[in-house]
Amino acid sequence: MKRILLMVARLFVMAPVWFFKIWSWGRNDKHTEEEKFELLRHVTIHANRAGRVTIRPYGLENLPKEPGYIMFPNHQGLFDVLGFLETSLQPFTVVMKKEVENVILLKQVRILLKGQCMDREDIRDSLRVINQMTKEVKEGRNYLIFPEGTRSKQGNSLLEFKGGSFKSAVGARCPIVPVAVIDSYKAFDTNSIKPVTVQIHYLPPLTFEEYQGMRTKEIAALVKERIETAIEQNT
């Protein structure tokens, strides 16, 4: 919370301007998705600097050149998405849990990115989101979804990866990009404003040919294993 307040305080003049711009751009289609993403990326870079957070990306060359892939990172906290917004050069959208659907700013960002909200306790709603993701990924949209379903609250340790989160990838037959997030929890989930460095490791993608025939639970276990290995090697 202290770091969020620091960001707002140091960007006191521009914060209301950017919030209004994000809100207004999300309500119409006057701007392309690329322009909307660049707006968020611009705001995110300034917010991270104001909050004394440095993002170190690795493996950007592993992101597929063609759109229509899904990134599956471990989930450490609210800051995670800001790391992706700063480092990814290709637009993407997100799946958020329904509990944050109406949280100010998160709501406006989700609408701007045309993201999805999922009720994890409602099987029918989860299926709706999975089907929508599958359709959009086939059409060339990139997605970010956290297969743990919630933040781990255990630092760089991971929770179980849920097989259901991989159904969209299987349905779309798209590349799966494992991503290892390191020390992101230190940004918003600790009561400190000391400088923080967050690592984001984009790992080599799994093509459909590699995971074809595997059960979603097996895919989840494989992706988790690769992320855990990357975290162990870089902490």
Q: Which residues contact 195 (CB under 8 A, 6 or more apart)?
A: 52, 53, 54
How many distinct helices (H) and strands (E) make up the chain?
10, 7
pLDDT classification of 136: cutoffs 50, 70, 90: very high
Q: Is 121 exposed, middle or buried, given 0-12, 13-18 or 19+ CB atoms closer than 10 A? A: exposed
Give percent above pLDDT 70 in the chain. 100
pLDDT classification of 99: cutoffs 50, 70, 90: confident
For 130-166, letters b (16+ CB in 10 Å) and e give beebbebbeeebbbbbbbbbebbeebbebbebbbbbb
> Could you tell me which of 26, 33, 168 has the C-alpha nearest to residue 110?
26
Strands, E assignment, 78-191: 93-97, 116-118, 143-144, 176-182
Asked if pLDDT for residue 89 goes beyond 90, the answer is no
CA angle 168, 172, 173 (to 5 degrees): 110
Phi, psi of 4 (to 5 degrees): -60, -45
pLDDT of residue 97: 83
Q: Are residues 97 and 147 in contact, defined by beta-carbon separation less than 8 angstroms?
A: no
Task: Give mean pLDDT, residues 73-99.
Answer: 92
For 77-96, letters b (16+ CB in 10 Å) and e give bbbbbbbbbbbbeebbbbbb
Hey, how many other C-beta atoms are within 10 angstroms of the C-beta on 102? Answer: 10
Q: Are residues 139 and 150 in contact, defined by beta-carbon separation less than 8 angstroms?
A: no
pLDDT classification of 191: cutoffs 50, 70, 90: confident
In angstroms, the CA 201 to CA 63 distance is 11
What is the pTM (predicted TM-score) of this model?
A: 0.93
pLDDT of residue 78: 86
In angstroms, the CA 139 to CA 141 distance is 6
In angstroms, the CA 176 to CA 224 distance is 12
pLDDT of residue 95: 92
Taking all residues of the chain, what is their mean pLDDT, rounded to a whole number? 93
In angstroms, the CA 208 to CA 51 distance is 39
Phi, psi of 105 (to 5 degrees): 80, -50
